Amino acid sequence: TAGPTYEAIDPVRFIGNHSSGKMGYDIAVSAANLGASVILVSGPTNCKVQSSLIEVIPVVSAEEMYKACHEYYADVDVAIAAAAVADYRPKIMASQKIKKAAEEFTIELEKTKDILASLGAIKKKQFLIGFALETENEIENAKLKIQKKNLDLIVLNSLQDIGAGFGKPTNKVTFIDKFFNIEPMDLKSKEAVADDILNKVIAFFYE
């Protein structure tokens, strides 16, 4: 998965985030370069990809991404959840554009479905990789995510690291596997990070 999700407030406004989708797209390209058949479930992004081995499934909302992931999950060997999925969405979407009137305006939110946890709950043969973007207690929060969502590997990003995060061409990640082995990586281009992630996949299947 790649990119953000947009959760509609009304027909013209939404709740979103700053994810560009580049990391997910770079992972898809790296996998295709190794000969993998890739299904790329992508939220709204300006990223483009051209490969006969990559099928792009465009979605907008977390609900649409949830449905697409579950549609294809049973048939995949590896699932890499790099999308920045909204945790909450407006409980009610206005049918018409909301007019600016009152001095204050409140939107009631409800939780979206946890895509990664739902995939972990039904995991059979799949090698399941998640991402964690943290701002504090990074390692401990990532370890909890591995346990709660039944992951095989997590790719930890910290917003404390210069050069990492949304909208940048580089990333600095730490790999943590399900046995809590921790491997911090240097700052690299996102293309190089994508290759590192695919090397972890190869190691899982062939070493």
Three-class DSSP category at 146: helix
Sequence-ordered list of residues with C-beta below 8 angstroms from that of 108, at least 6 positions apart, any chain: 90, 91, 92
Q: Give CA angle at 141 (137, 144), nearest 5°.
A: 150
**Residue 17 annotated in active site:** yes
CA distance 31 to 92: 39
Integer angstrom CA distances of residue 14 from 44, 68, 182? 12, 21, 37
Catalytic one among 17, 33, 157, 181? Answer: 17
Mind telling me the catalytic residues?
A: 17
